[in-house]
């Protein structure tokens, strides 16, 4: 065998070994069961391999997880993020009758409305983003569903930007696709992991302080890179996250948990189970 050919063979073997190593997760062959209380769940490694799955293709309401799609559609349009948008009566919640500290006349730049919609799940912020989309709300919702199809989310439908309607539905498997796509948007990762933020929507009043709806961001055991919570009665408690666990990027989707703290408890059970088996 010639020297050149031998070197080439070594390089091929090294490349193949590296590729195989990169594709292997320390969490690929876990034993036992994390005993999650969420009705649907999926956990994926960075290569998209399923570490854990439970009822991954059941279509369920997804509540405010919808807001991740809202943010992506707004950002895909390349709209001016500094443009000021004013909250109006059109942005009030007539479905769930939820309240808001963003009263009529509150004005914020588009990027801060994205932040509040994602970080604090502000419904009026999300609705105002859809209302101010070129072509109006109907066109915005059409683009939400177009984006879902482009991502291969074949079992998902979107009906409003805030996730208030029960017709916003998806599966754990589809939401893993959406979560993976959302990671490519720096404003989304930044907004969903911001724990606290002051905004000034009123010219003659003091600032409003908002906090993140994901309490795990304050837990030192977690290294969270992207997250979103959701809740309406029909959807139960929902949580999607991308987190780094023991040096590996992991995607977590939890749907229809009963109890306000159950998604966070399930997340901790998952992490404990994964670490105990690694």
Phi, psi for residue 196 in degrees, rounded to 5: -155, 140
CA distance 267 to 273: 10
How many other CB atoms are there within 10 angstroms of residue 2's CB atom?
7
* Residues noted as catalytic: 64, 67, 121
Note if the pTM is more than 0.75.
Answer: yes
CA distance 253 to 173: 8
Q: State the fold for domain 28-277.
A: Beta-lactamase (3.40.710)
Print pLDDT tens along the chain (278 aa). Answer: 454 444 343 333 333 333 334 456 788 778 889 999 999 999 999 999 999 999 999 999 999 999 999 999 999 999 999 999 999 999 999 999 999 999 999 999 999 999 999 999 999 999 999 999 999 999 999 999 999 999 999 999 999 999 999 999 999 999 999 999 999 999 999 999 999 999 999 998 999 999 999 999 999 999 999 999 999 999 999 999 999 999 999 999 999 998 899 999 999 999 999 999 87
Taking a C-beta distance cutoff of 8 angstroms, is the pair 178, 68 a contact?
yes
Q: In what order do the strands lie in the sheet with 248-257?
A: 50-54, 40-44, 248-257, 236-245, 224-232
Domain positions in the chain: 28-277
Phi, psi for residue 167 in degrees, rounded to 5: -75, -10
């Amino acid at each position: 065998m010639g020297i050149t050919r031998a070197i080439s063979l070594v390089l091929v073997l090294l490349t193949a070994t590296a590729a195989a190593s990169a594709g292997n997760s320390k969490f690929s062959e876990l034993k036992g069961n994390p005993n999650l209380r969420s009705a649907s769940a999926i956990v994926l490694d960075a290569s998209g391999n399923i570490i854990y799955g439970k009822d991954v293709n059941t279509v369920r309401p997804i509540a405010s997880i919808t807001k991740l799609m809202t943010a992506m559609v707004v950002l895909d349009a390349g709209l001016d993020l500094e443009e000021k948008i004013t909250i109006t009566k059109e942005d009030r919640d007539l479905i769930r009758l939820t309240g808001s500290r963003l009263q009529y006349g509150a004005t914020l730049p588009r990027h801060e409305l994205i932040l509040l919609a994602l970080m604090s799940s502000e419904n009026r912020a999300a609705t105002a983003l859809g209302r101010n989309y070129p072509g109006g709300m109907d066109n915005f919702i059409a683009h939400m569903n177009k984006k879902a199809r482009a991502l291969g989310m074949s079992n998902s439908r979107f009906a409003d930007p805030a996730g208030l309607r029960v017709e916003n539905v998806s599966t754990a498997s589809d939401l893993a696709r959406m979560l993976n796509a959302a990671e490519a948007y720096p404003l989304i990762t930044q907004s969903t992991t911001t724990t606290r933020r002051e905004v000034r929507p009123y010219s003659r009043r003091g600032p409003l302080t908002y906090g993140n709806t994901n309490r795990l961001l304050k837990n030192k055991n977690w290294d969270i890179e992207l997250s979103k919570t959701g809740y309406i009665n029909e959807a139960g408690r929902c949580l999607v996250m991308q987190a780094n666990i023991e040096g590996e990027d992991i995607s977590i989707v939890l749907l229809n948990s009963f109890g306000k703290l159950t998604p966070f408890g399930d997340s901790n059970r998952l992490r404990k189970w994964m670490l105990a088996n690694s």
